[in-house]
Amino acid sequence: MRIYVDGDACPVKAEVLKVAERYQVPVTIVSNGGLRPSRDPMIQHVIVPHGADAADDWIAEHIGAGEIAITADIPLASRCLEKQARALGPTGKEFDAHNIGMALSMRELNQHLRETGESKGYNKPFDAKDRSSFLQALDRLLAKAV
């Protein structure tokens, strides 16, 4: 069991580490760089080459069944689900077989609306409620898994 964090823009890295420590689950944070390495032996930092999907590709290649990916990237969540892993967004939304198709479709629609100028594409700001929802969801996932 391991938690993989899509680390470049993840707003809940500290929360992941807090919950993972409680359950003694190792964490791998994957990024293009710029993150301070940890001295904690339960935390591994992986620096991938710069590129649009380099971190996503690394996570999708290494994650295994029953492990957990923390990502806001819906295509990465889908790739993780294909490998029988779990995927959790930073707002606490768990992606699963029942909702990933709709999430991918909405992502595609929103991208189209942004490209055509129909939408400005502003996202709701990340807030304390999102952080709390994430903590509860990750705790629930790890309690079941461990």
Question: How is domain 3-145 classified at the CATH fold level?
Answer: Rossmann fold (3.40.50)
- Residue ranges of domains in the chain: 3-145
Q: Which residues pair with 70 in a beta bridge?
A: 5, 88
- Inform me whether the pLDDT recorded for 4 exceeds 90: yes
Amino acid in the structure at residue 54:
A
**Position 130 confidence tier, pLDDT thresholds 50, 70, 90:** very high
User: pTM here?
Assistant: 0.87
Share of the chain above pLDDT 90, in %: 65
- Quote the strand ranges of the chain, DSSP E: 3-6, 27-31, 43-47, 68-70, 86-88, 94-95
Cβ atoms 134, 12 nearer than 8 A: yes
> pLDDT tens digits for 28-87?
999 988 777 788 999 999 999 988 789 999 999 999 999 999 998 999 999 999 999 999
